Structure 1
């Protein structure tokens, strides 16, 4: 089995570098819709802005849903200061200590984009005695805009206002040794993984056993991404980042299978099936419990959907900061998804 790594890397670079904090995902959704059209797959958008891509299966009367989210952490303009800097509010669970010094973009309501830098409110060691103690909370961070804006009126005249979205520069790099390091690997790498599996199926004239509905969700980072699931879905396999660190088994080279997260245990039978397939195909894997984690499956189950759900994904280090994974973990995730789509009967 040989997945198209060039295609995968191309997707990763394009999707990771397209700004899409939760609530500002229109541009990236259009790109993914175009990618699905290029694969010959039909798709439609929900009222909420999620994208649902359909891949017909051998048994069209049975439907398995996949889900991955394309929204990311981000910021929003809370207010404008008298000196032309911006106060912030967080979108999702940012690690504030990692944001100091990061470049960003401010996206205005009139479709103008400005660049800036996220700094502490006491950014100079030559000016502020408390410089090294500041910047651990959202109230101690600000954005310095790369324009001649030295007052609140100057900023307003640029078209920037309260409620404008701010995206954080992902700093995406793919190394010769196979590491993908970037912000927002959670969960844009998973979107790229699934589309690469779909391309493999198409290139080899293969079909999944069941009709697949891929839900690309747009509000996962704020808790309600895949709260809507099509009525014909009985199983949901979420592909999201696997956790690395502390007492967890997963590494960046594995596909992680989640047995339980903060919302509770995942479906016993589905988790067992995923473990069986991993062992059968000698896929490097780990089974873990994610202590501070919720997923699109959590959102769907809390919304009252009568479904079985499971969660897998490549191991990702330093989540919600400057993240990193490896091509081996991504390929192992592809292998497990392919096996699940083509072998499992229900």
Structure 2
């Protein structure tokens, strides 16, 4: 299939994109407890006709065949999300928790959650500040510190002491999944927790669906990979084959003053806290955006790392790039626009279906 034909082809099914995102958001997957979401993505890959394998740790490595097997590419997003873990059973029948991944305790206050006990029992509850009632603490509720030492989990169970919690089967080390609570507006915005990085996963699957539906033979094989521990820093360190020459990581771009992320298109990251991304691969992606009229911007992220950083730190000799959907309030109650997600999925489609340029090792 020629590039010109690919450029004129229908690209991304928006209904599938949104439906896939909302389904992913309903599946709890804090880092360390990702089996359920992995099984769902494996089933979806099977439905799409894509072959895959699981790593020893449970990450997914799917394969899209292509012609030039010497120029294998990779695209990666992560399935794991933020969450929490029980660290103490308290005398008042409540629980102290420790965060999974890096997120501020103030974003946890008021969140509805599910405690997943090792017995298999799931218990609902709410994360609350220690001083939660103005009728009791008056103005002290506004002056209390914010942070994980000042948050506790109130289970919706008859628990008033440690013994009650033990009877319920609660243990230190139990996982706590935070509700996504997605809401889709008529204007195209999606508000939810855990859009990082389930929106990226949805975009990847939507691009793969288009390739499979059109029976496209890619110019080079592409490994489509889904990691399970990016939020705790491990990411793509263990999932790559040695034959991958370049890796595009898919994650969120941060909307904030001083940033240049595109809220309604794709953002190409030029650098993050781990250093600059590969010049040639990054500019190849920028050229694809220009060629196919995809709204885009460039940005530099100061306090950010992705699957690509973990892959390089593990010693992989690969070019890396980072492509992003625009995300507001990252690691809090997040918001994206469907236009941004659609643009990202389209870029991934064109990237996987575009003839690779000859590597230029000079500048």
Q: Specify the TM-score bucket, using the shorter chain as the normaliser.
A: over 0.9
CA 1:62–1:251 in 2, change beyond 3 Å: closer, same or farther?
A: closer
Matched-pair contact (CA < 8 Å) for 1:258–1:289: yes
Tell me what 1:136 maps to: 146
SS at match of 1:226: helix
SS at match of 1:288: strand
Tell me what 2:133 maps to: 124
Matched-pair contact (CA < 8 Å) for 1:100–1:135: no
Query: Which segments of structure 1 move beyond 2 Å, counting only runs of 4 or more?
Result: 58-62
SS at match of 2:267: strand
In the alignment, structure 1 residue 69 sits paired with structure 2 residue 78: yes
Deviation for aligned residue 1:12? 0.5
In the alignment, structure 1 residue 253 sits paired with structure 2 residue 264: yes
SS at match of 2:347: helix
Alignment of 1:39-188 (within 5 A): 39-129=48-138, 130-134=140-144, 136-188=146-198
Alignment of 1:290-309 (within 5 A): 290-309=301-320
In the alignment, structure 1 residue 273 sits paired with structure 2 residue 284: yes
Matched-pair contact (CA < 8 Å) for 1:209–1:343: yes
* Equivalent-residue separation in structure 1 for 2:164 and 2:145 (angstroms): 25
TM-score by length of 1: 0.97
SS at match of 2:98: strand
Tell me what 2:35 maps to: 26
Matched-pair contact (CA < 8 Å) for 1:78–1:162: yes
* Equivalent-residue separation in structure 2 for 1:344 and 1:326 (angstroms): 30
* Equivalent-residue separation in structure 2 for 1:145 and 1:135 (angstroms): 22
Matched-pair contact (CA < 8 Å) for 2:104–2:148: no
SS at match of 1:15: helix
In the alignment, structure 1 residue 200 sits paired with structure 2 residue 200: no
**Count, aligned residues:** 346
Deviations 1:120-177 (A, max 9, x none): 1111111124222235110000000001111111111111100001011111112121
In structure 1, stretches of 5+ residues that fail to align are: none
Tell me what 1:35 maps to: 44
**Equivalent of 2:341, from 320, 330, 343?**
330
SS at match of 2:325: strand
* Equivalent-residue separation in structure 2 for 1:199 and 1:338 (angstroms): 9
Deviations 1:15-57 (A, max 9, x none): 0111001101010000000000101111111112211111112
Cα RMSD (Å) of the superposition?
Answer: 1.2
Matched-pair contact (CA < 8 Å) for 2:328–2:335: yes
* Equivalent-residue separation in structure 2 for 1:135 and 1:175 (angstroms): 34
SS at match of 2:32: coil
TM-score by length of 2: 0.93
